[in-house]
Chain A
Amino acid sequence: MLKKCAPGHTWIEKDHRIHVVFKGKAYRHLPTGKKGGKGEVKRLFVKQLATQLEIEECAKAEIPALSN
């Protein structure tokens, strides 16, 4: 989703979270997915990321579950 909606974004993995920066906007608390054991990230973390980076419409097109 980020490749299409936020081309050129910066992805920085930290110990407990991932920082994503795009066009001067930053989302700094994307879970690594390690905590749950299945590499899954809850929907609303991704939705907050999409609204914060102002790529919501594109993200909804890529991930329809974000539309709810």
Chain B
Amino acid sequence: MADYPLVFRLTHEIRCPKFSARVVSVGNALMVFEDDEWWCHGVNPGGLTECGEKPALAWAGFKEALGGIFEDLACDSNSVDAFRRAAHAFVLDANKTQAERWEKARQAIRAGSGTVEAFFDALTRNADEVKPSVTVELLERIVPEDSFVELAAAA
């Protein structure tokens, strides 16, 4: 079965104790059928993969996992700027092995060789060079609750 090169732009809204943010990531992934399942291997970012019985399920898992990773990174960051740097580093951290497969798969799609599975045939063909990127928009800075408990004492 063929390998399928994907390019994507995804929006995730993440929330952690210090802030909430909208994350728009642009990257690429490689969808393949291996070990009797569909796998969506990250290329940029290369630091994740997900699987499912059908391409749609593998893709849904990939999207959910990516959002979860952004949330992990946000919750580990002391500021929105620190999160922005972490998210940027993550998305630009390419998987070289999958990048080579992705490029070969793209050439095969361009050449029109082989049949294309229905899920992928329904996708818009994108012949542009897609540069991986991330934008992080702060939605809300969350301040600690202004409540307290103290022991009252006479003045």
Which residues in A have their C-beta under 8 angstroms from that of B51?
Answer: 42, 44
Residue B132 at the chain A interface, CB threshold 8 Å = no
**Quick one: which of B74-125 are within 8 Å of A by CB?**
89-90, 93, 95-98
Q: Is A25 an interface residue (CB 8 A)?
A: yes
Contact of B48 among A14, A27, A43, A56 (CB under 8 A): A27
Q: Is A29 an interface residue, CB under 8 A from the partner?
A: yes
Inter-subunit contact A19/B95 (CB<8 Å): no
The answer for the CA separation of A8 and B70 in the assembled complex, in Å, is 24
Tell me if B39 and A29 are in contact (CB < 8 A): no
Chief secondary structure at chain B's binding surface = mixed
User: Is B128 an interface residue, CB under 8 A from the partner?
Assistant: no
The reply on B49 being an interface residue by CB < 8 A is: yes
- Say whether B34 contacts A29, CB under 8 Å: no
| A1-44 contacts to B (CB < 8 Å) | 14, 16-17, 19, 25-29, 42-44
A63 to chain B, nearest CB (A): 14
Q: Please, which residues of chain B bring their CB within 8 A of the CB of A17?
A: 65, 68-69, 72
Let me know if B90 and A26 touch, CB within 8 A.
Answer: yes
Interface of A is mostly: mixed
Given contacts A17-B72, A54-B96, contact A29 B65 (CB under 8 A): yes
Task: State whether the Cβ of B55 lies closer than 8 Å to any Cβ in chain A.
Answer: no
The answer to the question of B42 belonging to the interface, with a C-beta cut-off of 8 Å to chain A, is yes
* Inter-chain contact B98/A51, CB cutoff 8 Å: yes
B95–A48 CB distance below 8 A:
yes
Contacts of B34 in A (CB 8 A): 44
17 A-B pairs, CB-CB below 8 angstroms?
A: A26-B89, A26-B90, A28-B47, A28-B48, A28-B90, A29-B47, A43-B35, A44-B35, A44-B39, A44-B41, A44-B51, A48-B42, A51-B46, A51-B95, A51-B98, A52-B46, A54-B96
